[in-house]
């Protein structure tokens, strides 16, 4: 019998704890924690993400500074705004919602954000520190996965973990976090040979691929912990993960659902990073 890992419940509990910590920070230092959220253009998915981030700030007591900029803004003007936010001591974290319009070089913009305010954990400095197992701001989604494992008391030490996906924002930091927590880690990607055999060795299998129901029951070891990071639409337009949940679930000891699994953890970890960024100043 598998156990469902309830991301919504875990996220809600972390937010209650965070709200208390934010309140303590305010009382101790007599100042707010500030998070700047920058959205360029009218991408509807990005608008929803930004709205949810601002709502989460309200919930935990973090002051959000939202910047809604027109699609046509040029790179120089956007850079100027980011540099102002970098210099503003009321702002502890800066988040630039991706993707940016094609005429703006996202790497140039993100490189302006210092590691100390990089609440997404995307900067080379933060990723380098993660690689060296040093204290840093960690990418929100993989950090959320680690919190879920911790919450469920799932041991990683000595376990074989397989991460499918090697993106800079999910797969790679996920693999580093598992490695830092003493798992033996394999990272798979689109060029991996014998993917099924690799996945089948996993005590902990993390799917971060972006392909609906890609992980099938023949790829999962009996009793495995399966973490589904994917957010896709199935043939009926319904939200689903990278794991074929209905077929895989009975082989697992633990499994995350989509929706209600990793998703709610991501924004919660963003709030956590904003608090951590403020707490370090």
The least distance separating ligand NDP from the CB of residue 223, rounded to whole angstroms, comes to: 23
Which residue in the list 6, 53, 118, 159 is annotated as catalytic?
Answer: 53
Q: What is the DSSP letter of 122?
A: -
* 250 has catalytic annotation: no
Which residue in the list 118, 120, 203, 242 is annotated as catalytic?
Answer: 120
Nearer to ligand NDP, 155 or 216 (CB): 216
The least distance separating ligand NDP from the CB of residue 259, rounded to whole angstroms, comes to: 9
Binding site for ligand NDP (CB under 6 A): 141, 164-167, 169-171, 188-192, 195, 208-211, 229-232, 262-263, 266
* 157 has catalytic annotation: no
Nearer to ligand NDP, 76 or 191 (CB): 191
Which residue in the list 6, 97, 172, 203 is annotated as catalytic?
Answer: 97
* 242 has catalytic annotation: no
Helix, strand, coil fractions of the chain, as percent rounded to 5: 45, 20, 40
| Cα 213–chain centre separation | 20
Contacts (Cβ under 8 Å, ≥6 apart) of 134: none
Nearer to ligand NDP, 110 or 170 (CB): 170
- State the chain's maximal CA–CA distance in angstroms: 57
The least distance separating ligand NDP from the CB of residue 31, rounded to whole angstroms, comes to: 30
Q: State whether residue 144 is helix, strand or coil.
A: helix
Which ranges in 219-261 belong to alpha helices (H)?
Answer: 245-248
> Distance between CA 130 and CA 120 in Å, rounded?
13
Catalytic residue numbers?
A: 53, 97, 120
């Amino acid at each position: 019998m598998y156990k469902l890992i309830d991301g919504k419940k875990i996220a809600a509990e972390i937010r209650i704890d965070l709200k208390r910590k934010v309140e303590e920070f305010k009382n101790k230092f007599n100042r707010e924690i500030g998070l700047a959220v920058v959205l360029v253009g009218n991408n509807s998915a990005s608008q929803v993400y930004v709205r949810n981030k601002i709502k989460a700030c309200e919930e935990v007591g973090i002051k959000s500074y939202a910047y809604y900029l027109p699609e046509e803004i040029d790179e120089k003007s956007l850079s100027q705004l980011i540099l102002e936010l970098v210099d503003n001591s009321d702002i502890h974290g800066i988040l630039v919602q991706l993707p940016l319009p094609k005429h703006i070089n996202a790497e140039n913009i993100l490189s302006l954000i210092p590691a100390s305010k990089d609440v997404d954990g995307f900067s080379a400095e933060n990723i380098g520190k993660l690689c060296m197992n040093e204290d840093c701001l960690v990418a929100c989604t993989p950090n959320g996965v680690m919190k879920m494992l911790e919450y469920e008391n799932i041991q990683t030490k000595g376990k074989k973990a397989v991460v499918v996906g090697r993106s800079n924002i999910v797969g790679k930091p996920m693999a580093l976090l598992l490695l830092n927590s003493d798992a033996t880690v394999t990272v798979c990607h689109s060029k991996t040979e014998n993917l099924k055999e690799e996945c089948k060795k996993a005590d902990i299998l993390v799917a971060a691929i972006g392909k609906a129901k890609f992980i099938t029951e023949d790829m999962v070891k009996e009793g495995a912990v399966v973490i589904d990071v994917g957010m896709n639409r199935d043939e009926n337009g319904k939200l689903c993960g990278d794991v074929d949940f209905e077929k895989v679930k009975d082989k697992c000891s633990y499994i995350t659902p989509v929706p209600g699994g990793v998703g709610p953890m991501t924004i919660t970890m963003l709030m956590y990073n904003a608090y951590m960024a403020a707490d370090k100043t």
